Homo-oligomer: A and B are copies of this chain.
Amino acid sequence: MKKILFTLILTPTLLFAQREEMIKKIYDHQLTKSPVYENLRYLCKEIGPRLSGSPQAAAAVEYTRQLMMDYGFDTVYLQPVMVPHWVRGKKEVTRVTNSDIYGSFELNSIALGNSIGTGPEGVHAEIIEVKSIEEVNELGKKVKDKIVFFNGEMDPTKINTFAAYGGAVLQRAYGASEAGKFGAKAVIIRSMTNRRDDIPHTGSLVYKPMMPKIPAVAISTNDADRLSRILQDQDGLKVFVQTQCEMKEDVLSYNVIGEIRGSESPEEYIVVGGHLDSWDVGEGAHDDGGGTMMSIEVGRTFKELGIQPKHTIRVVMFMNEENGLRGGKEYARVAQEKGEKHIAGLESDSGSFGPRGFSSLGSDEKRAKVQSWAPYFRPYMVWDFESIGSGADISPLAEQDVFLMEMEPNPQKYFNYHHTEADVFESVDKRELEMSAATLTSMVYLIDQEGL
């Protein structure tokens, strides 16, 4: 009995010490010898923004394929997927034309992704302000022939800014259809950010089936506040909107997949990734250049430190998260078709700020197991394993009952940059990116070693 007791107590302790040591190696390696920051610089500065269907998206496919080859991944291949090809065209113009006080003046604006354009002639109409989709539905036909200005704010008292985003983003996603069905001519959306500044935020809209498609732009929060103030004092305020964006034919693109083959259960996969596409403004540094580069680090770090995974680690650069999710859907479709067994899917798509934890989506049992690993991460100031959630690209795997996780950084600053010209390489801190890469790698390591 004594001996058995001894074993029972000692083994977990020894195992813990082993895991702990390897995790320290992973963090030490990232914080001293990681190429992740330089790789992100290349992606942002030498390739740049990479909207689905663009030449830069193709360059990013080739760049990450080569990276994973160079790092000695066991298999690297492209998974074809047809993606939307939306182009912005000439710079947008959004102009108030008849303010009693200010006369005619321009607003900082940007067309929403997937929007139709107004064409060169533009749209010129009276503007009407609402705070929500519900309000448009109450107004009904009163919005006919008008431009509807959705001015709902992100709730600043929500500590998790992603929750505030979730509470406001429906305007951006569906506002055009909801206003269009009552005969509105265009929509203007308040940018999705807590900040007051002059930077307009793009992002995708979705035209609902069988509803009229009308053009949509976002304006900066400062301009939204100003417009709202003017509207309080003046009836019949008119705005001119000119956008020359258009949706072209779908284009062949790819998810880029790299594998480190498992030694014990090579037919069981742990997938980890981010999305390679970005918006066409800024450089997609936080969204989601950092996520892709740190996912590649998972595989590279395993190779570099000689960690032989039991399961096959599959690093995926998903294509087209921003305006279609085609890559994520195709990945899940192929996995199902092939009957592949995924034991977990992990994503990093909430920015490259300092990591604070992981959200997860799956059985209580598996969530509890992941939460029991918190002590491994606490020395690295990663502490939050409670939230329920996953990432967009891996979300189609939920139907196959795959346990999903997303790495969660500190969220306060994400919407300073999201979908804007400000999302550039310089906004990412080297140490925070390295800490993120180490955290993601350590979690994949634990899942691989401990199972789920």
Binding site for B on A (CB under 8 A): 27-28, 31-32, 156-157, 159-161, 194-195, 354, 356, 379-381, 383-384, 410-413, 416, 429-432, 435
B384/A381 in contact, CB under 8 A:
yes
Report the separation of the CA atoms of residues A393 and B27 in the bound assembly, to the nearest whole angstrom. 33
Chain B residues positioned under 8 Å from A411 (CB to CB): 381
A159/B383 in contact, CB under 8 A:
no
A-B contact pairs, 16 of them (CB 8 A): A27-B157, A32-B156, A32-B157, A156-B431, A159-B379, A161-B431, A354-B410, A354-B412, A381-B411, A383-B383, A412-B429, A412-B432, A412-B435, A413-B429, A413-B431, A416-B429
Report the separation of the CA atoms of residues A412 and B438 in the bound assembly, to the nearest whole angstrom. 14
Chain B residues positioned under 8 Å from A383 (CB to CB): 383-384
B157/A28 in contact, CB under 8 A:
yes
Report the separation of the CA atoms of residues A411 and B429 in the bound assembly, to the nearest whole angstrom. 12
- Contact among B161, B194, B380, B429 with A159 in the assembled complex (CB-CB below 8 Å): B380
A430/B157 in contact, CB under 8 A:
no
Q: Which of A28, A159, A194, A195 has the most CB of B within 10 A?
A: A159
Counting every copy of the chain, the complex holds 2
Report the separation of the CA atoms of residues A405 and B310 in the bound assembly, to the nearest whole angstrom. 46
Provided the pairs A31-B157, A32-B157, A156-B32 are in contact, do residues A431 and B381 lie with their beta carbons within 8 angstroms? Answer: no
Report the separation of the CA atoms of residues A452 and B27 in the bound assembly, to the nearest whole angstrom. 38
- Contact among B32, B159, B356, B381 with A27 in the assembled complex (CB-CB below 8 Å): B159
B195/A430 in contact, CB under 8 A:
yes
Report the separation of the CA atoms of residues A31 and B194 in the bound assembly, to the nearest whole angstrom. 10
Extra inter-chain contacts (18) besides given A27-B159, A195-B430, A354-B412, CB under 8 Å: A27-B157, A28-B157, A32-B156, A156-B431, A159-B381, A159-B435, A160-B381, A161-B431, A194-B431, A354-B410, A381-B384, A381-B410, A381-B411, A412-B431, A412-B432, A412-B435, A413-B432, A416-B429
Closest partner residue, chain B, to A429 (CB atom): B413
Report the separation of the CA atoms of residues A431 and B413 in the bound assembly, to the nearest whole angstrom. 8
Closest partner residue, chain B, to A412 (CB atom): B431
Report the separation of the CA atoms of residues A37 and B157 in the bound assembly, to the nearest whole angstrom. 16
Closest partner residue, chain B, to A24 (CB atom): B157
A359 smallest CB distance to B (angstroms): 13
A441 smallest CB distance to B (angstroms): 15
Report the separation of the CA atoms of residues A27 and B155 in the bound assembly, to the nearest whole angstrom. 13
Report the separation of the CA atoms of residues A430 and B412 in the bound assembly, to the nearest whole angstrom. 9
Provided the pairs A28-B157, A31-B156, A195-B430 are in contact, do residues A356 and B381 lie with their beta carbons within 8 angstroms? Answer: yes
Chain B residues positioned under 8 Å from A429 (CB to CB): 412-413, 416
Chain B residues positioned under 8 Å from A410 (CB to CB): 354, 381, 410
A415 smallest CB distance to B (angstroms): 9
Report the separation of the CA atoms of residues A429 and B28 in the bound assembly, to the nearest whole angstrom. 29
Report the separation of the CA atoms of residues A195 and B426 in the bound assembly, to the nearest whole angstrom. 13
Closest partner residue, chain B, to A31 (CB atom): B156
